Amino acid sequence: MKYCSQCGSKTERKIPEGDNRERDCCTSCGLIHYTNPNIIVGTIPIKDNSILLCKRAIEPRYGKWTLPGGFLENGETVSHGAFRETLEETNTEVEMGELYSIFNVPQINQVYMLYLARVVKDDFSSTSESLEVEFYNEENMPWEELAFPFVPIAIKNFFADLKKGEFPLTTHTIERKK
């Protein structure tokens, strides 16, 4: 950040008094500009032991399959954001279940929060964000065509938990290999 969003003056990177991290600080009004991780919300939409996936119509990972999800908006709860993103990407409403997985992705400053959700109607369809929307079970899952590292982890965990009949909340960290 070069300029303060409050007064327009130049900023400098420094550790503010009482803090322990470098921040962008305004040289004029003194405002400290905090940059915090983005929250990504989504669902694992299920019906008859299958998961509803979306083929991405947008970058990144255009043409790859993923779970419906996206950025949490200001003024939303996590579950409302996950419901909205699922509707936007699948064109169907879901019955929201419990929070199922949290993924920390520190190198890109993101936290993913996925809910279990039940698809209640077969009215899903492609959208401006999804080229295709299809159900996949464990046997026909397009494993080699999944978009992001968290997706196969969440899906494999879901199918393992389905066999056990228990769906505990899990937390994962995905770090780029060095």
Return the domain boundaries, the chain: 1-35, 38-173
Calculate the average pLDDT of the chain: 97
CATH T-level assignment (fold) for domain 38-173:
Nucleoside Triphosphate Pyrophosphohydrolase (3.90.79)
For residues 167 and 144, give the distance between their C-alpha atoms in angstroms, rounded to a whole number: 25
For residues 124 and 135, give the distance between their C-alpha atoms in angstroms, rounded to a whole number: 10
pTM confidence score: 0.91
For residues 73 and 55, give the distance between their C-alpha atoms in angstroms, rounded to a whole number: 22
pLDDT tens-digit profile of 128-160? 999 999 999 999 999 999 999 999 999 999 999
Residue 178 has pLDDT above 90, yes or no: no
* Per-residue pLDDT at 177: 75
Percentage of residues in the chain having pLDDT higher than 90: 98
* Per-residue pLDDT at 176: 82
Q: What is the largest CA-CA distance in the chain?
A: 61
Q: What's the average model confidence in pLDDT over 53-70?
A: 98
pLDDT tens-digit profile of 12-31? 999 999 999 999 999 999 99
CA distances to 20, 87, 92, 104, 169 from 172, rounded to whole Å, are: 26, 26, 28, 6, 10
- 1-35 placed in CATH 2.60.120.10: no
Residue 55 has pLDDT above 90, yes or no: yes
Q: What's the average model confidence in pLDDT over 100-105?
A: 98
